[in-house]
A and B are shown apart, each in its own frame.
Chain A
Amino acid sequence: MKPEMAIALRSATLDNGLKVIVHEEHTAPLASVWCWYRVGSKDERPGLTGVSHWVEHMNFKGTTNIPRDQVKGIIEQFGGAWNGYTWIDQTTYVETATRDALDQMLFIESERMARCLYHPDDCESERTVIISELKGGENDPDQLLDQEVTAAAFRAHTYRHPTIGWLPDLQSMTRDDLYGYYRRHYIPNNATLVVVGDVDPDDVLRRVEQHFGPIPAGATPERLRTVEPEQVSERRVTIRKEGTAAYFKVVYHAPAAADPRFVPTVILDAALSGAKGVNLWSSFRVAPPQRRSRLYRALVERGIASSISGQIVPTAQPFLYAVSATATDGTSLASVENAALEALDEVLQNGITPAELERAKSQLQARLIFDNDSVTNIAHQIGYFETVATADLFATLAGRIEEVTLDRVAEAARTLLSPSNRTIGWFDPLPIATS
């Protein structure tokens, strides 16, 4: 299949360092604005874990020119939706609405960048909201296992702590911690603004200059420089807690988005568990085509697991490739582990077949097209890649997928899947006590 995706980008950088990327998409009378900051949980020091995410929450609570009680309603009056999220490398905010709302969307993002309030009462109120979010996550055994396995896989790098933070830090963080972090990282020269939709790029750049031009540049945020040392032996985590299902996970240190081995690893994952695409925002909402994949056949078709998944996400620095499985009721975690590792070892030894390579490429090319069906998704991908690497990596992704050879996948498998590079996790349920 020939790559069918072509993304024409218009970009500019304001004097204060704000990078702006515009893409015209005239298929609907909509515009999507995403403002990206190069700050995520990897930038957090001990004692302040979770601060990036908490700051994101605080940045919806009013600004100098948008009173607290008027935050809601501006975008809704244009039928729009807004949101934000924080992850390991990035914090981002989005509005998608009819194109008439472009000026309001840019106004909101310029206010968010420079003039959020951080009222002490709001900081306290949000503390309990975030702890509620954390506790809600702990209700999910699979999420708890993911958190523990990630923490075990990293010894030094700050990718080891969860984006939501550790509970004691959330209980002790102060308003000044939050506000100081906000001021250090929310500066135009640490941000990328992406606008996609039924817009005129010249008009967009003019409006962006009006709203963001007066915001002064700040001192470049100091980056933590820890590099995770090479893992030299297998690690294991076992959670024994009351529950009704058993979960298995194995993670491997994996290449970052800009690493030439990244795309071959994405192909490898597609062969192992079906292609998801590379859109953190939308790819994981629909089950991938995976019935012919190695792990599905080894675990689900044999009745050992009720579901399997693989995940490789573009990141700024080397993160993890994760394989997860839910043991079928009555099946031991040891059986799941044996079957999964056997399938992974087979690929480590022999790579994948030409048929698997072609199938993986077809799946990924189709996914790239499906993922480009909305201005919101397109804008997300441009901003995401620009924040963790460069937007060009996204624009050229289809072509780079097509160029991957069997040898490159085999090389990626050899580097990735060695036993000393893995951390294995079990959620081994204990019977639930009856009260």
Chain B
Amino acid sequence: MGQTASSAGTGLAPTRSTLDNGVVVIAKETRKTPAAAINLSVRAGAVCDPDAAAGTTYLLSRVIDRGTATRSAEEIAEEIDSRGISLTISVTRHTFSIVSSCLARDFETILALLGDVLMSPAIPEQELAVRKGEAVTILRQEEDNPGIRASEALMAMLYGEQHPYGRRVKGTVQGVELLTREQLLQQHAARFAPSELSVVVVGDVEVPRVFDRASRVFGSWRATVPPPINLPPVHRATERRRRIIPMMNKAQADIAYGFTTITRTDPSYFAFWLMNVALGQYALGGRLGHNIRERQGMAYYVSSLLDVSIGEGPLNIRAGVSPANVDRAIAAIDDELTRLKRDGLTAKELNESRQFLIGSMPRALEANAGIASFLQTAQFFGLGLDYDRRLPSLLAAVTLDDIHRAAEMLDPERATLVVAGPYSDS
């Protein structure tokens, strides 16, 4: 066991330890229910896919738990099902996550199982063939989903084919069908290593028990530190761009309207966050919701999502509207952004957004899974064990001028927008 750090004082106060091989372990004991959340995160998301093989990591996520060097798929299924654990394996652009809830008494067994799955997948050919069929079907379903089509086309336009953010995490039907067992094993060998893994356990399990078990499961794992992923530069849009994806078999159109913004570590992050809450989150979708849903009655949903990460992430405004209202809804988004860029937020809006984010922390950190996810994010971005306690002051430091500067980036003249649905330009 390597060095251990603890966050003193009130707040979550989790304990972190780094194993000799580089695996980071973070533990937080709670007594809400006799259960525990286990969150394993590897810095091996879809950005690590080979350029010519988008979807490799996603397909790996679907097959990684279907057999290991020492356990058959059947044995894994029995261990999961007989204990009733929940298990979600997911891939984002930067992380590969194995997330589980289990009863506290099953903690040792389940951590050992998940560790085995993460470190030693066997990827049997038969399992791969079945999972490929599932992945292809999911991709085919998404081809018929206007919301997904609009969002993915927006990302492709914002970032381009040369940037990993511009590619689909799940890849393409043709690409997935060509992927082989060897490619998945190579991807695992190349990107999964102790230096990339952080283990977070939150629940009714004593902290020493977590460290002891994590050390037993992951302590002897050895793998070469993967080379860093260098993201290509993001070219910010210099003009307004628009794409229509006609889907005439659909009843409603989806709008995706967005910009590239900043990285998570940018000092203006908190200004962007607060601005986005006021623009498209607060209550029923912030200013956008008030205009498009409440005042004009045009949409059941409208919101904006700020998805920043290691690279300059997008701010994506989404709305689902009748095809007859597409142009009016886009005009309303333009109006709100023009106003935001010109005038920024009011002091009242800034205070409301800030108060909401600070006040919502007890809710966000109520359940084990929510705490584990928060700690995993803090670890990923190096925010510190006391991030939950520092967050209110970080938000409090944001001024109206900071917000106004952030809003400069949201210029409708340089917006990229996609409409998918029963709509055409004519």
Do A and B make up one complex?
yes
Q: Tell me whether A306 and B249 are in contact in the complex, defined as CB-CB below 8 angstroms, given that A28-B362, A126-B297 are known contacts.
A: no
B352 touches A77 (CB 8 A): yes
Contact B85 A373 (CB under 8 A): no
Contact pattern, B 167-196, Cβ under 8 Å of A = 1, otherwise 0? 000000100000000000000000000000
Contact B134 A369 (CB under 8 A): no
Please tell me if the beta carbons of B359 and A286 are within 8 angstroms of each other in the complex: no
Is B5 positioned at the interface, with any CB of A under 8 Å from its CB?
no
With both chains docked as a complex, state the minimum distance between the C-beta of B24 and any C-beta of chain A, in angstroms: 25
Bound together, the chains give a CA A379 to CA B274 distance in angstroms of 30
Q: What 1/0 mask marks residues of chain A from 124 to 142 whose CB sits below 8 Å from any chain B CB?
A: 1111111111011011110
Interchain nearest-CB distance for B333 vs A (Å): 16
Q: Which residue of B lies closest to A430 (CB)?
A: B249
Interface residues of A, CB < 8 Å — how many?
Answer: 75
Q: Knowing A76-B352, A373-B33 touch, does A128 contact B80 (C-beta < 8 A)?
A: no
Contact of B84 among A126, A129, A327, A364 (CB under 8 A): A364
Q: How far is the CA of A251 from the CA of B25 in the complex (A)?
A: 46
What's the Cα separation between A433 and B278 when bound, in Å? 41
Residue B77 interfacial (CB < 8 Å): yes
**Of residues B101, B359, B361, which shows the largest number of chain A Cβ atoms within 10 Å of its Cβ?**
B359
Known: A28-B365, A29-B362, A243-B249. 20 other contacts (CB 8 A): A96-B363, A129-B298, A132-B320, A136-B252, A244-B143, A244-B144, A287-B86, A289-B83, A328-B133, A329-B133, A359-B82, A364-B84, A366-B83, A366-B103, A370-B33, A370-B86, A373-B35, A373-B366, A374-B366, A433-B249
A358 CA / B133 CA spacing, docked (Å) = 31
Task: Let me know if B322 and A128 touch, CB within 8 A.
Answer: yes
Question: Contact: B85 with A30, CB < 8 Å?
Answer: no
B282 engages A80 (CB within 8 Å): no
Are A241 and B249 CB-contacts (below 8 A) given A77-B359, A129-B299, A287-B88?
yes
For chain A residues 65-90, which have a beta carbon within 8 Å of chain B? 72-73, 76-81
Q: How far is the CA of A328 from the CA of B141 in the complex (A)?
A: 10
Instruction: Indicate if B381 sits at the interface (CB-CB under 8 A).
Output: no
A52 close to B (CB within 8 Å) = no
Give the residues from 270 to 319 in chain A that come closer than 8 angstroms, CB to CB, to chain B.
274-275, 286-293, 300-303, 306-307
Q: Are B322 and A97 in contact (CB under 8 A)?
A: no
B129 at the interface (CB under 8 A from A): yes
A300 and B134 form a contact (CB under 8 A): yes
List residues of chain B with CB within 8 A of the CB of A330.
133
Contact of B282 among A72, A138, A301, A306 (CB under 8 A): A72
Given A138-B251, A366-B103, A369-B35, A28 contacting B366 (CB threshold 8 A): yes
Given A97-B359, A245-B144, decide whether A435 and B322 contact each other with a Cβ distance below 8 A.
Answer: no
Which residues on B sit within 8 Å (CB–CB) of A358? Answer: 82
A220 is an interface residue with CB less than 8 A from chain B: no
- Contacts of A292 on B, CB cut-off 8 Å? 77-78, 81-82
Contact pattern, B 337-369, Cβ under 8 Å of A = 1, otherwise 0 = 000000000000000100111111111011111
CB distance A242 to B249 under 8 Å? yes
Chain B interface residue count: which class?
A: 35 or more
Cα A128 to Cα B329 with chains together (Å): 13
| Interface status of A362 (Cβ within 8 A of chain B) | yes
Instruction: Report how far A287 CA is from B140 CA in the complex, Å.
Output: 20
Q: Which residues of B contact A362 (CB under 8 A)?
A: 82-84
> Which residue in B77, B136, B297, B365 is a CB contact (below 8 Å) of A291?
B77
- Could you say which of B134, B140, B144, B252 contacts A307, with CB atoms under 8 Å apart? B134
- Contact across chains for A76 and B249 when beta carbons are under 8 A apart: no
Minimum CB–CB distance for A163 against chain B, Å = 14
Contacts of B284 in A (CB 8 A): 72
Verify A30–B363 contact, CB threshold 8 A.
yes
- In whole Å, how far is B406's beta carbon from the nearest beta carbon of chain A? 21
8 smallest CB-CB distances across A and B, nearest first, come from A79-B359, A366-B84, A125-B297, A363-B84, A242-B249, A291-B77, A72-B283, A306-B137
Residue of A73, A79, A326, A362 with most partner-chain B CB within 10 A:
A79
How far, in whole Å, are A138 and B81 apart by their CA atoms in the complex? 34
CB < 8 Å: which of A28, A30, A76, A372 contacts B33? A372
Bound-state CA distance A72–B369 (Å) is 28
Contact A81 B300, CB 8 Å, known A141-B144, A369-B35:
no
Q: Which chain B residues border A49 with CB–CB below 8 Å?
A: none
Complex: A89 Cα to B290 Cα, angstroms: 30
List residues of chain B with CB within 8 A of the CB of A359: 81-82
A289 and B298 contact, Cβ closer than 8 Å, known pairs A72-B283, A80-B363, A369-B33? no
> Does A147 lie at the interface of the complex (its beta carbon under 8 Å from any beta carbon of B)?
no
User: A16 near B: Cβ within 8 Å?
Assistant: no
Cβ–Cβ < 8 Å partners of B357 in chain A: 79
Nearest-Cβ distance from residue B315 to partner chain A, whole angstroms: 21
**Residue on A with the closest CB to B203?**
A373
